[in-house]
A and B are shown apart, each in its own frame.
Chain A
Amino acid sequence: MKPTRGQLITAFLCLLPLAVLLVEWHNGSLSANPIEALTQRTGRTAVILLLASLACRPLRTLFGLSALLPMRKTLGLAAFAYAALHFLIFAGLDFEFNLSWILPEIRQKFFIQIGLIALILLLPLAVTSLRRLQKRMGKNWQRLHRLAYPIMALVLWHYFIASKGDILLPLIYIVFFIILMLFRIPPLSKISIGSKPRWLQRLNQFLLS
């Protein structure tokens, strides 16, 4: 199926943080500890994109923007890509794929275990984003993809424990996630602006085409 304009724009925006990272890495401007910077920034990008994907549904209901639903898929896939990259940087760049280093790290560190579980749980969600599989799975697809919420909670937990001084940022994301969760339950989940203004209708049409 042809991607919508909204999906193309989203994909482009999702690639920007990676492009910036690569340029900074190339220039040597990623601090004196570039691997730490790469790990932290890919992780943070994954968190933001996952939160953005979860925000699509409430925003759709609130403003009647049906164009957000296909974009949600792009955001989710990009979040998974950044999370996988985050793990690969940890295992490959940082610990040089050396199992005698990596395994004790995983065994000793609770926050790595949580992050790893979240990543493993994201995998089936990413795989089943194929439209053909989605059709075949019917109602089960929706059930499976509700996992995104507990995964988000795990990711934020992972991020919070991994932070030392900068817990303000993870706290902001946690508050944002709680607000999103509140919009899943009635009466908040039913709130809508009703009839859309013309420009919103046009925006929706534009993103859908």
Chain B
Amino acid sequence: MSKPINSSEITPEALYLSRRRFIKNTLTMAAASLYLSACGGQTAAGPTAQPTSSLPLPSAGSSSDEMGNALTTYDDIIGYTNYYEFSTDKSGPTRLAQNFQTSPWSVQVGGYVNNARTFDIDELKSLFDQEERIYRMRCVEAWSMVIPWIGFPLHKLLEIVEPTSDARFVRFETLYDPDQMPGQRNSFFPFPYIEGLRLDEAMHDLTIMATGLYGRDLSPQNGAPLRLVVPWKYGFKSIKSIVKIDLVGEIPTSLWMASGPSEYGFYANVNPNVPHPRWSQATERRIGNSGRIDTLMFNGYEEEVASLYDGMDLSLNY
């Protein structure tokens, strides 16, 4: 008779998987170093780990947004990011996210809906037309970019799952995987990253789920494979690498609301009249340009979205 296996001797699944990943990463690195040494000291060109030659050239349907603002360069968009799951340094995510696994990837949509279900990322891409949207992106840190996103309006996804009458807010959640996202071990922040929108904000046609930019798939540091983009709100609302979307009845508490309630509110609409204790919200610097420019109400989308906030005091609902 074989000796019974103590339950304490069984490798927990998470540990087993992380070992597998370690082995895989080690092999990948070994292969990469062989490849590099075979190239005779040539360094890999291009900003991503994928062979650049296999990717389409960065391209966009237009060279500016509807106001005539020139697009931010592809290199600046992928080289300067806030993604604390990888690093608090702006160039850190570009380095640390290169081996981030974005496939397979599934997104669970549930809560107050009639058709709760899980979508595969490839299904999401084929289910909806992928359209280009050129949006200004205004970071709460007073810098901004003009980005040609690829994606689909969030309302198309919500229409499939059918929110019930109890649904009032949408709650989004980023992947939690400290093995892949070393920054999630940073105990200063209550990971996983959470964000939320009011249902009418989520249903607005400007609100999109982005899968790419500049005609390419999203790079990991920009939130691959699926992120939210809400152009009239500060950048931190546009949550990255989403794995879960829930329709809920109560206001979701976002990561930033939890870690700095006096500085970050639920709405976080771009508003030059509501100051922030750290950065100027009246003016901003467009990445790639040298001068400072005035920040526009709702980031220049006032005509489209101001009616969502009729009768609200925006300095209280910041």
Contacts and interface: CB of A to CB of B under 8 A. Distances in A.
B84 A31 contact: no
Contact of A96 (B76, B141, B280, B292): B292
Contact of A101 (B84, B277, B278, B283): B283
A161 B277 contact: yes
Contact of B90 (A33, A95, A108, A111): A33
A116 to B, nearest CB: 15
B79 interface: yes
A33 B141 CA distance: 11
A50 B79 CA distance: 33
B91 interface: yes
B278 A109 contact: yes
How many of chain B's residues touch chain A, expressed as a range?
20 to 34
B288 interface: yes
Given A33-B287, A111-B277, A166 B76 contact: no
Contacts, number: 55
Given A33-B80, A96-B292, A165-B84, A101 B282 contact: yes
Interface size class of A (residues with CB under 8 A): 20 to 34
A167 B89 CA distance: 12
Interface string B143-155: 1000000000000
Interface string A84-128: 000000000011101001001100111100000000000000000
A204 B127 CA distance: 75
B285 A164 contact: no
Contact of A32 (B88, B275, B288): B288
Report, nearest first, the 8 A-B pairs whose CB atoms are least far apart. Answer: A165-B88, A32-B80, A32-B76, A108-B275, A32-B287, A166-B88, A33-B143, A165-B84
Interface of B: 76, 79-80, 84, 88-91, 141, 143, 186, 188-189, 275, 277-278, 280, 282-283, 285, 287-288, 291-292
Interface of A: 31-33, 35-36, 94-96, 98, 101, 104-105, 108-111, 161-162, 164-168
Given A31-B80, A32-B288, A168-B188, 13 more contacts: A31-B79, A32-B80, A32-B287, A33-B80, A33-B143, A36-B143, A96-B292, A101-B283, A101-B292, A105-B280, A109-B277, A109-B278, A164-B141
